[in-house]
Amino acid sequence: MSLEIGFLVFPEVQQLDLTGPYEVFTALPGAAVHLVWKTLGPVISSTRLALQPTLTMAECPQLDVICVPGGAGINRLLEDEETLAFLRAQAAGARYVTSVCTGALVLAAAGLLGGKRATTHWASHDLLGVLGAIPERARVVQDGNTFSGGGVTAGIDLALTLAAAIAGQDEAEAIQLQLEYAPAPPFDSGTPERCRAATLARARERGARLRAEREALAARVAQRQSLSRAAGRDG
């Protein structure tokens, strides 16, 4: 089985959004996994880890799986027509269109989640609805050939779910065991519903500036999408 898998990589990507599922996908038999960006120069993640693209968008073959991770850098992508056009073109021929964390907002901005159920990081979850998707709170949400994962670490769950869809549960379970993926966190504070109120307030405060910028961007994108749909109806 030959399988072409491509991750969008971009400045200020959340590296674990990418590297978590990357570990799973590279273990799939016959998988070729690519990091795709506009150029081949190193890309600096939001935590300053350098990532090396392996293909440019222009030379990227048709992918079987396209995966868009999240991170602070997605704000710029929401209005980056070159990136959005690349995703639309790839999605048209891909077997699976996927996202991790706030990468779902980029898929939505590209018009790929309209009327579809999807999830993303809790701090941006409501913005899925602004961009035409149907927000659903879960670690992984599947709607047709579209798979989305929740925040950051949910990317591993997403990748294992997709590995089972592609290669069967036995193969996916073997990969999980190989990675010894058996989460047992020291604190029960991984979701807004389960953490202490003070913890949630601290997290919201840390992300307030990025959230405000993202809200404004989502509103602009949603307005353009609405105008485009109206023009299509009038035409």
Residues annotated catalytic, as ranges = 101
Q: What residues contact residue 228 under an 8 Å CB cut-off, 6+ apart?
A: none
| Helix extents (H) in the chain | 15-25, 74-77, 81-93, 103-109, 127-130, 154-167, 169-178, 197-206, 208-234
In 3D space, the residue among 7, 41, 46, 9 whose CA is nearest the CA of residue 23 turns out to be: 7
In 3D space, the residue among 9, 12, 11 whose CA is nearest the CA of residue 22 turns out to be: 9
Q: What angle do CA 98, 172, 10 make, to 5 degrees?
A: 30
Residue 130 tokens read as 């602004």
